[in-house]
Amino acid sequence: MDNAAPTAPPTAALAIETRRLCLWYGTFQALFDVDLRIRSGIITSLIGPSGCGKSTFLRSVNRINDRLGYVRTTGSIHVHGRDILAPDVEIIQVRRQIGMVFQRPNPLPLSVRENVIFGYLLHREARGALRREERDRIVEESLRKVLLWDSVKDHLDRKATELSLEEQQKLCIARLLPMKPHLLLMDEPCSALDPAATSAIEELLWDLRGEYTIVIVTHNMAQARRASDECIFMLMGKVVEHGETGSLFVTPAHRQTADYIEGRYG
């Protein structure tokens, strides 16, 4: 957009690159000059106290905030080198390449199989019926990737909402994969899960790492520490610090980061 005065051209090697990204909900400013360079193929965690703008940032990256008529954005967001705020950009295309996972698993009230294939059918370019073998292949491949195949392969016609929460969240990740997204955005994906299910999801993220770029919002410090390569700390709509996760936790560069990771904020 207009005030982004680029110093160097955006690079496609970065999954996400924002410059002076500001966002307002009506008159309330939620993001202030966010400059982030999120690398491809790694897991980046996003931490900070409730209300600091983590979800707002994620929702900007796949333009979900646009749905709200009263949101205004300035600055720029490039995803793999592409300006996603450009007027000629097709939101459907942007969203197809970016998968989003939410706090509570939200499978459709359909069978396990239909959940996996639904988005793919909606987005696919080819016309005509999908061959059964092709459909079965996509379903199996996606469920294997999220380590769910063995437990659901004999119940593919079962309602997805009858699965355990851990299985539902894995399914919500599986259903993104047929669209071949580059980027997976996860907003506190384990907050509804117990510790065992949480570690199962973390294991899965490590498995997906490399093939996908993952940005995960978490309020769980231990999780950010265990489950990410790089970490971003935000406070009141600003990025305070972004660095390699190990060093951010051991030797934070800013006092505010230290205060947060030591539990001095709510």
- Closer to ligand ADP by Cβ: residue 77 or 112: 77
Q: Could you tell which of Mg ion, ligand ADP, none binds residue 148, using a CB distance below 5 to 8 A set by kind?
A: none
- Closer to Mg ion by Cβ: residue 55 or 213: 55
From candidates 44, 55, 142, 169, binder to Mg ion by CB under 5 A: 55
Look-up of token digits 């947060």: 260
Measure the CA–CA gap between 203 and 150, rounded to whole angstroms.
16
From candidates 24, 25, 102, 149, binder to ligand ADP by CB under 6 A: 25
Measure the CA–CA gap between 193 and 84, rounded to whole angstroms.
33
Ranges within 81-110 binding ligand ADP (CB under 6 A):
none
Please name which of 187, 7, 35 lies closest in space to residue 106, comparing C-alpha atoms.
187
Q: Could you tell which of ligand ADP, Mg ion, none binds residue 53, using a CB distance below 5 to 8 A set by kind?
A: ligand ADP
Sheet holding 43-47, edge to edge: 98-101, 183-187, 213-217, 43-47, 230-235, 238-244
Candidates 29-37, 54-62, 118-126, 197-205; binding stretch for Mg ion (CB under 5 A): 54-62
* Minimum CB–partner distance for residue 159 and ligand ADP (Å): 30
Measure the CA–CA gap between 6 and 19, rounded to whole angstroms.
8
Q: Could you tell which of ligand ADP, Mg ion, none binds residue 27, using a CB distance below 5 to 8 A set by kind?
A: none
SS3 helix, strand, coil % of the chain, rounded to 5? 35, 25, 35
Ranges within 38-67 binding ligand ADP (CB under 6 A):
48, 50-56
- Our finding on whether 65 is near Mg ion (CB under 5 A) is no
Measure the CA–CA gap between 85 and 23, rounded to whole angstroms.
13
Interface ranges with ligand ADP (CB under 6 A): 25, 28, 30, 48, 50-56, 68
